């Protein structure tokens, strides 16, 4: 009703209708339209431009496989290959495109054998914290009706899921443990003050800290983060100064101590963890890139159903036995700097 009106006309109409019949309903609609005008546009997906040299993210094994930016580029390349080879004169791009098509053809054969002949497919990027997979590949029949879709998780430098350093990483780790005090609170109460004193920064407010610490770059920890990376050799911020290296090692040691203490005083909630694993892994398939080939793998649910805890290994990993009689490792670690940001679990 109000879609064709300008924002000025809508505001005038709001004033006019204030005393009219059903004014609450009318004003609600008008305010909704005004808010839609005032909203800032968001670009949730920023189109990336592929360079010919980006092919090295698949063939150069010296590139750090766990680097987030590298993985995003690989995933973007995979999505791009669905529309054809962007560099058809480059032999490495040709090889990758051929291997990609072989992978898709395997899925097409599966769908055709169990459902209907496949005439087309589409691939959509997912990923991020909301999803536990990277793509949805959708297959269509001759009448363009969806007949099957696959939730696909991509893993680089692996021929088997068991080769991966992790296949899932739960956030807010303390919800999966019976404990007197959460890990985040334990770290704040018993370790963070000494770290802040070491690097000569004020300790952040506890409420703010607990709210922000599960992000990649909590604002309240930026001064500590800067001090940490000045002493980390692998960081571009590395200074080589003795004091910065000492601070880095101090934070690393406090992180180790805190993880050891937490795991010694807590117990894994097996039922809670199993629920998370089933919810996050259900219907998920794997696209693995290893030995210059794409590999397809489905994981049996028994492989991620925990039966019991076996031991604590190296003071940071809970070792479990699954229903399929395999070992599962649940590592507690900081994802973005020891004691700096994002404590989480890494499951393999």
CA distance 198 to 193: 9
Q: Where are the domains of the chain?
A: 7-37, 58-157, 164-280+301-348
**pTM for this entry:** 0.73
Average pLDDT for 198-216: 95
| Residue carrying structure tokens 């610490």 | 213
Residue percentage of the chain with pLDDT more than 70: 83
| Mean pLDDT value across the chain | 87
Burial class (CB in 10 A: 0-12, 13-18, 19+), 17: middle
User: What would the 3-class secondary structure string for 148-165 be?
Assistant: EEEEEEEEECCCCHHHCC
Which whole-number Å values give the CA distances from 23 to 15, 16, 18, 26, in the listed order? 10, 10, 6, 5
Say if residue 47's pLDDT is above 70. Answer: no
96: Cβ–Cβ under 8 A, 6 or more apart, which residues?
A: 55, 58, 77, 81
| Residue 169 C-alpha from the chain's centroid | 8
Are 266 and 177 in contact by the 8 Å Cβ rule? The answer is: yes
Average pLDDT for 264-290: 93
Average pLDDT for 261-274: 97
Residue 45's pLDDT band (boundaries 50, 70, 90)?
A: very low
Residue percentage of the chain with pLDDT more than 90: 69
Average pLDDT for 232-259: 96
Least confident of 27-41, 63-77, 94-108, 165-179: 27-41
Smallest CA-to-CA distance from 283 within 154, 174, 164, 136 is with 136
């Amino acid at each position: 009703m109000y879609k064709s009106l300008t924002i000025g006309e809508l505001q005038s109409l709001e004033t006019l209708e204030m005393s009219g019949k059903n004014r609450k309903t009318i004003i609600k609609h008008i305010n909704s339209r005004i808010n839609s005008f005032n909203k800032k546009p968001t670009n949730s997906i920023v189109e990336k431009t592929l360079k010919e040299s980006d092919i090295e993210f698949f063939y150069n094994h010296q590139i750090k496989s766990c680097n987030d930016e590298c993985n995003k580029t690989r995933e973007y390349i995979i999505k791009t290959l669905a529309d054809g080879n962007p560099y058809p004169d480059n032999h490495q791009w040709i090889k990758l495109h051929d291997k990609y098509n072989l992978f898709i053809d395997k899925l097409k054969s599966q769908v055709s054998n169990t459902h209907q002949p496949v005439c087309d497919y589409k691939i959509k990027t997912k990923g991020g914290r909301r999803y536990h997979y990277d793509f949805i590949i959708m297959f269509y029949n001759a009448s363009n009706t969806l007949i099957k879709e696959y939730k696909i998780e991509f893993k680089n430098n692996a021929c088997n899921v068991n080769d991966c350093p992790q296949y899932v990483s739960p956030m807010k780790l303390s919800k999966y443990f019976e404990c007197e005090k959460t890990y985040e609170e334990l770290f704040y109460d018993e370790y963070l003050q000494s770290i802040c004193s070491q690097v000569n920064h004020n300790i952040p407010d506890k409420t703010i800290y607990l709210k922000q610490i599960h992000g990649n770059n909590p604002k309240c920890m930026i001064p500590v983060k800067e001090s940490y990376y000045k002493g980390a050799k692998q960081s571009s911020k590395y200074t080589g100064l003795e004091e910065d290296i000492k601070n880095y090692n101090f934070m690393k040691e406090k992180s180790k101590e805190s993880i050891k203490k937490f795991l010694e005083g807590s117990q894994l909630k097996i039922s809670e963890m199993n629920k998370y694993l089933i919810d996050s892994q259900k219907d998920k398939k794997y696209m693995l890139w290893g030995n210059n080939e794409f590999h397809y793998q489905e994981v049996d649910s028994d492989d991620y159903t925990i039966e019991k805890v076996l031991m604590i290994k190296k003071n940071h990993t809970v070792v479990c036995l699954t229903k399929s009689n395999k070992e599962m490792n649940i590592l507690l670690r900081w994802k973005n700097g020891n004691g700096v940001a994002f404590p989480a679990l890494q499951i393999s």
